[in-house]
Chains A and B, each alone.
Chain A
Amino acid sequence: MNTVDLAATGVRELNRRLQLASDDPSEQSWLVINPKGAHAVAAGLTRPVRIQIDGHVGYYCAGMNQAAAVTIDGHCGTGIAENIMSGLVRVRGNASQSAGASGHGGLLVIEGNAGPRCGISMKGVDIVVGGKTGHMSGFMAQSGNLVVCGDAGHDLGDSIYEAAIYVGGSPASLGTDCVEKDMTPKHRSLLRDLLSRAGIEIDPDRFRRFGSARKLYHFRVDHADAY
């Protein structure tokens, strides 16, 4: 395990070392201490390294992640795992707004609560939130799965495309063109697998599924009021 004191190295030096980590076994595991809310910690990683961050981070932590497994032992600011491509990002505390924004792949686990607009414009990432999410989560979500074990804030899934949203509690309200859909055995199986990968123990039978009514795909004057 390599330990990096962020207060001493600064974010650029830390990220450079993480981005350039070789295949050598000595460079596969990293502990970052004293993050103190710094932005862009462990952003732009492309190799399957394991990183643990001991404390709270600022904006865009683990942004654009590919292959790496990043765990934050604390809370995180705006845009955790923004545009994640692959790999695993785990937040042990709470996440601020726009968690997993526009993510293409991989898994983002937020063990606590997520703020507004969680999974905004997600394009294939899977997001599992152990607690609740703020308003307008899943806004314009295009692909992937957003799992909310607690309650979801108002206007869930507004203008959603083909992503799936699973809610264990209840949504305050659904956004435009977001509707409840049947939970089939196929969906329950997918959800069980996601919860298992996220390491969150909760009965999949509690969940309801939401997705697109597909009425906003093409402009129809009959739906003008919904735009």
Chain B
Amino acid sequence: MCGIVGLFLKNPALRGSLGGYFAPMLASMGERGPDSAGIAVYEAEPQGRASRVTAFHPDAGFSWESVAAELSRRLAAEVRVVVKADHAVLEADHDVSGVTRGLTDLDPDVRVVGYGKSVAVFKDKGSVAEIVARYGVADMAGSHAIGHTRMATESDVTTGHSHPFIADDDVCLVHNGSLSNHNRLRGWLIRQGMQFETDNDTEVAARYVAHRLQQGSGLKEALEAGLRDLDGFFTFAIGTRTGFAVLRDGFACKPAVLAETGDWVAMASEFRSLAELPGVEQADIWEPEPEVVYDWTLGPGA
């Protein structure tokens, strides 16, 4: 059992309230996943910056400011940093790979948990209520977010094994379920040139989707291909820079509820996660069908 949630704002006027809507959704899934929790939050408008990288360091006293200053000097580019507990979000006028490589060169214990232009990722061990408070989720702004509360079943309980998993710029995935062919699929993806950080099954699903996107598929096509290649139980919520999608396997034993109004689309493992959303009384509420891709895309200019 795990809990997964997603929120996609159709109405840009609500972007300042994303975290306020999202934090109680995630917090209410604590009983489904007591081991760890995590979120990926997408800023709608990257405002021309080249990269946005979220990194984690196990040392609570780690000086992100001095790392950012040194990174700025080495890259000869401006690097802005916002620290949230043991995570830091670095925005740089430099490409993603330069920033991530620069960070791990500066300190090998730095772990990059999110990268791209718009996403920020926060994930940690412990109770979701503490994690929501620690990272100030309720105050976060953005266009969409996905989140996860984990009850570990197949690999270790660490920050690295926590969801969301990121597999390419701004491509994040959360998962309730378990994949049975992840070892074989991991081997195939490695032969396609993908690199892995953990032995976790969900990372394989995330890398798979990223691989299909890199091959030129749209999000919907990538997930439809996943229905053929991924074996096991899953309900996924997926975020990209401009997209949000939900997919369940054919057996559909892992729960999911979708709700949609003119202002937002929300997904959760259980309805109680959606019960406090403003306007939910008027929402269309339904259970996503097995093996059907549900996807939404931000409008032009977002």
- Residue ranges of A at the interface with B (Cβ–Cβ < 8 Å): 36-39, 56, 58-59, 75, 77-78, 94, 96-97, 115-116, 134-135
Contact = CB atoms under 8 A, between A and B. Distances in A.
B290 A77 contact: no
Contacts of A38: 272
B275 A77 contact: no
B286 A37 contact: no
A219 to B, nearest CB: 26
Nearest to B281: A55
Interface residues of B, number: 16
Contacts of B251: 116
Contact of B285 (A56, A58, A115, A135): A56
B271 A56 contact: yes
B290 A116 contact: yes
B44 to A, nearest CB: 29
A37 B290 CA distance: 22
A36 B272 contact: yes
A115 B287 CA distance: 8
B253 interface: yes
B170 interface: no
A59 B255 CA distance: 11
Contacts of B285: 56, 75
Given A56-B271, A58-B270, A58-B271, A36 B255 contact: no
B274 interface: yes
13 contacts: A36-B275, A37-B273, A38-B272, A39-B272, A56-B285, A58-B270, A58-B271, A94-B286, A94-B287, A96-B287, A115-B252, A116-B290, A135-B250
Contact of B275 (A56, A97, A116): A56
B105 interface: no
Contact of A116 (B252, B271, B272): B252
A194 B276 CA distance: 38
Given A56-B285, A96-B287, A115-B287, A37 B271 contact: yes
Nearest to B250: A135
Contacts of A36: 271-272, 275-276
Contacts of A78: 255
Given A94-B286, A97-B253, A97-B255, 20 more contacts: A36-B271, A36-B272, A37-B270, A37-B275, A38-B272, A39-B272, A56-B271, A58-B270, A59-B270, A75-B271, A75-B285, A77-B255, A97-B252, A115-B287, A116-B252, A116-B253, A116-B290, A134-B252, A134-B290, A135-B250
Contacts of B272: 36-39, 58
Nearest to B285: A75
A9 B210 CA distance: 46
Contacts of A77: 255, 270-271
Contacts of B276: 36
A44 B268 CA distance: 27
Interface string B253-281: 10100000000000000111111100000
A96 B271 CA distance: 11
Given A36-B276, A77-B255, A97-B253, A135 B271 contact: no
B18 to A, nearest CB: 21
B141 to A, nearest CB: 26
Contacts of A135: 250, 252, 290
A177 B40 CA distance: 47
A125 B271 CA distance: 27
Given A77-B270, A116-B290, A96 B255 contact: yes
Contacts of B287: 94, 96, 115
B251 to A, nearest CB: 8
A36 B257 CA distance: 13
B4 to A, nearest CB: 15
A97 B255 CA distance: 9
Nearest to B252: A116
B274 A37 contact: yes
A209 B283 CA distance: 37
A78 B254 CA distance: 10
